[in-house]
Structure 1
Amino acid sequence: MASTPKADESSAAPSVSAPVPLGLKITHGFGSSALGIKEGGFNYFLLLFYGTVVGLEPGLVGLSILIALIFDAITDPIVGYWSDNFRSRLGRRHPFMYASAIPVGLSYFLLWNPPDWSQMGLFFYLTFLAITIRTFITFYETPSSSLLPELTSDYEERTSLQSFRLFFAWISGNLMSVLLFGVLLAGPLGMQDRSGFETYGIIASCVIFAAIIVSSAATHHRIPTLSKPSKSAEPFSIRRVTREMFEILSERSFIALFIATVVFSIALGLNTSLAFLMLRHFWGFSEEQIFLWTTTVFLSAGMALVLTPIVGKRMGKKKATLLIGFFAFTIQPAPYLLRLAGLMPENGDPMLFPLMLSINIIDLSLIIAVQMLSYAMIADLVESNQLRTGRRNEGVYYAAMTFTRKSTQGLGVLSAGIILSAIAFPQGEELANIPADTLWKLGALYAPALLILWMTALFCLSRYKIDKAQHEANLAALSERSPT
């Protein structure tokens, strides 16, 4: 019979179950602003800026992002595994976090202040910076997220910590969007104002740098209480790394959570890539109304921050995720399906915008809550894996999820492109007169596609097995194994 892995002294789980101070939750969560700003810039502004303002061929912009994603697929798990096994007087995580601040801040500034080079020169410039930014944001985000299971072993406190991280990620990314569209590009040149994007680059890079430094410094005093790398008698080798990675990622609950996150990200990518198009053309909202729509994200994120820990504590993460997710993912496509059935107010009706805005505020808060709860589940995988392998591998788990969040939204954009191509959606000047049947087809493909993706993600989440009782049993078992 195979022997049960033992957790040696260096890899023992930290016994930290006391409530995490609010100040630490805020500062640790604030660090996620770095990823939120970077994701917002890459998802919403990069193609617009380089393709229409700088003048780089859109296809080359897409190729640059694809190359950077390929590098991500390699570097993300390496950084996760490296930070799990790194030894220094600053612990496993903080050396990576501190080292990322200047490269990320500087490269993000340079991204929005490109030189006047040729097409190929700009292509290599963009590609180099995209790889640099994505790599060093991983150097920060993966180790920083991996601190969460070590800052507390308490089931509910982990949900609260994760809620603050996603709260800051959402509001920081949206704040930059509001600043850019509402202030920096509000002049006569509008979205063609290169100086507006350059100013955005200065502000955003400074906030990213500050978020990384503040968050890293705020958790610095916890270094002595954090876990140390597990000791292995086996020398380092590619074979050992491959075997350990397979052991870590073969956890059934992780596989369920990973697939759910992939599908969830595809749905989110589909939704965000078509959001402005649907608001402007399907619902006929004005630019002023769309701007107001964007500002309400702050309200939704705040509601989710309050709601998530309460519901998670009362129901448990899994049950709360499934229940909130069911409401969120049926509410979102409902207005489109009702419009197709002729049961929504017509475009231009004074009741339409307030009705849709109210629905969106509530629904987005529920969607963010689902994200907070599902990402909080990652933390509870750590002790389950430690019981099986004798190692704490927070970095590998969070690296997998970080890569998923960064990459699979591109599949959502691809899905959006397929829908637009399938209905021959007009472009350019033709957007002024879109046929009614084209808009009907758009809604008929968009809403069911979202519904199917959301429900598939919930089904995968239902296969996750670790509840509060199982988590506490894992902690108890690890406590018995730990040396006295």
Structure 2
Amino acid sequence: MGETPGSGATPLGVRSKMFYGVGSVAFGVATLGLSSAVLQPYLNRVIGLPALWVGAAIMATLILDALIDPTIGQWSDKLRTRWGRRHPLMYASVPLVAASCIAFWNSPADWSPQAVGLYLMGTLVLMRICVSLYEVPSQALAPELTSDYHQRTSLFSYRFFFGVIGGFGMNVVLYQVFLSPENGGVLNRAAYGHYGVLAGLVMAASILISAIGTHRHIPHLAAPPDHPASLGQLLREIGGTLSNRSLVVVMLSGLCSGVAAGMNSALSQYFYLEFWGLSAAQISYLALASVLASVSGVALAGPASKAFGKKAAMLGLFAVATATSALPILLRLLGLMPPNSSPWVFTILWGDAFLATSLAISGYIVISSMVADVVEDAAVRTGVRSEGLLFAANGLLPKFTAGIGVFLAGLLLTLVAFPTDAAAGSVAPETMRQLALVALPVTFGMNALSILVLVFYRIDQETHERNVAALAGTPTLGDEAGEAEPPSAEAVIASAR
């Protein structure tokens, strides 16, 4: 197709974007399976572990995973093989992801609750690590494939599209097939085991297809320095990357939104079943709304970014998405929603899910492209490209705080005395109202704060293009006019010596 990967001058072809994006099916499936929306009720209501224990355990596994991700990212950045830096880890993750997923969802049924709890936590940690072994190098691959400011938004559009299709597609399969009333409903333990087998195979297949499909780009990707860095130099590189102002801003935003995301994810199934009175089939239809929203979200991201700039587009998209997603519960608390017996309830929830998810997906695509632009900004100052470390660090605080959000959700369930052994749809309305009254202000407030923090992100298109030119050692228009240019990577390295 005549592509020049990573050059930024020749657009990446659709085939390359498709192969890169299809690997995120695995991440989407893992996000569904590892999300507290499924884990919290599964461990609490199906396995029978106390809600507070479940929240604490999920928080602990998320924190451990967050600590391991930067190690994987740094390993990926420094790896030297004939298959490049990223692909060996991506290939290695294929059998590990499948095996750990199947093992987690098929826990021994005849063990004591304490033993099963330990088994599940151990395999959950293992599965998270195996997914990260693919996800961190795969994310780091994006800024290597293209340095063009707007091509990156397009590339991440493919990534998010396939991720949403994978996650919500498996959500439909989970609730429409495995947890359907005919198969025993949402509390059927054996059905989760069958789902785990399918999920493991789907994740492994998508990773393998993506790794093989992007393999031909390896000769054109960035390579680490020929000589290993000393410990002191390595620490300076890490410090220079992690102290980048724009990266710090995005990480602080993720810290705030992670709490909200953790709480929303952990409580979503409780609200669907008990607050809104939805069936498993209706929950899957809501997932279908999100699948359709992935198309509109992907279609919106590029034009919004080009029309308003990445930062302004992202702020607007996230602000409207936050307000929209909170609206149905707020209206119910104010007595302005129809009763659950009305067909309008599901119609309103479906429309709200479609709109909020479309806007959120667009926002996440744009902000992911913004994170990719930090790569060159940090490299100009450190002299090295640290894509793996950068993306792993960006995901570190959200995982910490998502774990905290899950723990807080378990705490709230305990405070409102949510009954662990209650049949689906039998919880008292007053219990759910109390839960909504405390959960809604916290999640909305944390999301709003995360948006405000992003105002301080500073890399625009002009800054990015100057960074790319500095790393390539070519002059920019500003240089010709006598303006000061950022130092080149070679100059930074020379001065450090």
- Are residues 1:304 and 2:302 paired? no
Q: Contact 2:73/2:388 (CA < 8 Å) preserved in 1?
A: yes
Distance 1:196 1:425 in 2: 24
Distance 1:177 1:392, change over 3 A: same
Distance 1:346 1:131 in 2: 41
- Are residues 1:221 and 2:197 paired? no
For residues 326-345 of structure 1, the C-alpha deviation after alignment (integer angstroms, 9 at most, x for no partner) is 21112222333333333333
Distance 1:84 1:394 in 2: 7
Residue 462 (structure 2) aligns with: 469
For residues 349-395 of structure 1, the C-alpha deviation after alignment (integer angstroms, 9 at most, x for no partner) is 34333233212211121112111111221100000011101100000
Give 1:109's aligned amino acid: I
Moved segments of 4+, more than 6 Å: 55-60
Give 1:264's aligned amino acid: S
Q: Contact 2:55/2:411 (CA < 8 Å) preserved in 1?
A: no
Q: Which runs of 5+ in 2 are unaligned?
A: 474-487, 491-497
What is the Cα deviation at residue 435 of structure 1?
Answer: 4.9
What is the Cα deviation at residue 183 of structure 1?
Answer: 0.7
What is the Cα deviation at residue 476 of structure 1?
Answer: 1.6
1:302-381 counterparts in 2 under 5 A? Answer: 302-381=295-374
Distance 1:84 1:143 in 2: 8
For residues 402-434 of structure 1, the C-alpha deviation after alignment (integer angstroms, 9 at most, x for no partner) is 344544322222233344445455564497362
Distance 2:45 2:169 in 1: 23
- Are residues 1:190 and 2:193 paired? no
Distance 2:95 2:236 in 1: 34
Residue 432 (structure 1) aligns with: 426
Q: Which runs of 5+ in 1 are unaligned?
A: 1-12
Residue 30 (structure 1) aligns with: 22
Distance 1:355 1:67 in 2: 36
- Are residues 1:175 and 2:164 paired? no
Distance 1:214 1:349, change over 3 A: same
Residue 136 (structure 2) aligns with: 142
Give 1:351's aligned amino acid: W
Which stretch of structure 1 is more off in the superposition, 131-140 or 322-331? 131-140
Residue 477 (structure 2) aligns with: none
Residue 452 (structure 1) aligns with: 445
For residues 105-156 of structure 1, the C-alpha deviation after alignment (integer angstroms, 9 at most, x for no partner) is 1221222223456335544533442232222221111111101001111111
1:97-176 counterparts in 2 under 5 A? Answer: 97-116=90-109, 118-119=111-112, 121-176=115-170
- Are residues 1:289 and 2:289 paired? no
SS of residue paired to 2:224: coil
Q: Contact 1:60/1:123 (CA < 8 Å) preserved in 2?
A: no
Give 2:207's aligned amino acid: I
Which stretch of structure 1 is more off in the superposition, 371-380 or 34-43? 34-43
Distance 1:323 1:51, change over 3 A: closer
Please give the TM-score of this superposition, normalised by the length of structure 1: 0.88
Give 1:152's aligned amino acid: T
Which stretch of structure 1 is more off in the superposition, 387-396 or 63-72? 63-72
Distance 1:60 1:82 in 2: 33
Residue 416 (structure 1) aligns with: 409
Distance 1:224 1:80 in 2: 20
SS of residue paired to 1:297: helix
What is the Cα deviation at residue 167 of structure 1?
Answer: 2.0
Residue 252 (structure 1) aligns with: 245
Distance 1:51 1:359 in 2: 28
Give 1:191's aligned amino acid: V
Distance 1:85 1:410, change over 3 A: same
Which stretch of structure 1 is more off in the superposition, 397-406 or 217-226? 397-406
SS of residue paired to 1:229: coil
Distance 1:473 1:397, change over 3 A: same
Give 1:149's aligned amino acid: P
Q: Contact 2:246/2:457 (CA < 8 Å) preserved in 1?
A: yes
1:196-211 counterparts in 2 under 5 A? Answer: 196-211=191-206
Distance 1:278 1:474 in 2: 47
What is the Cα deviation at residue 174 of structure 1?
Answer: 1.7
Distance 1:389 1:185, change over 3 A: same
CA RMSD of aligned residues (A): 2.7
Q: Contact 1:64/1:126 (CA < 8 Å) preserved in 2?
A: no
Give 1:22's aligned amino acid: V
Q: Contact 2:62/2:402 (CA < 8 Å) preserved in 1?
A: no
- Are residues 1:42 and 2:37 paired? no
Give 2:361's aligned amino acid: I
Identity of aligned residues (%): 35
Which stretch of structure 1 is more off in the superposition, 217-226 or 38-47? 38-47
Give 1:217's aligned amino acid: I
Which stretch of structure 1 is more off in the superposition, 282-291 or 131-140? 282-291
Distance 1:283 1:193 in 2: 21
Q: Contact 2:24/2:163 (CA < 8 Å) preserved in 1?
A: yes
Q: Contact 1:16/1:150 (CA < 8 Å) preserved in 2?
A: no
Distance 1:204 1:321 in 2: 32
Residue 7 (structure 1) aligns with: none
Distance 1:234 1:192, change over 3 A: closer
Aligned residues: 468
Please give the TM-score of this superposition, normalised by the length of structure 2: 0.86
What is the Cα deviation at residue 81 of structure 1?
Answer: 0.8
Give 2:244's aligned amino acid: E
What is the Cα deviation at residue 97 of structure 1?
Answer: 0.9
Give 1:199's aligned amino acid: H
What is the Cα deviation at residue 234 of structure 1?
Answer: 4.6
Give 1:361's aligned amino acid: F
1:74-85 counterparts in 2 under 5 A? Answer: 74-85=67-78
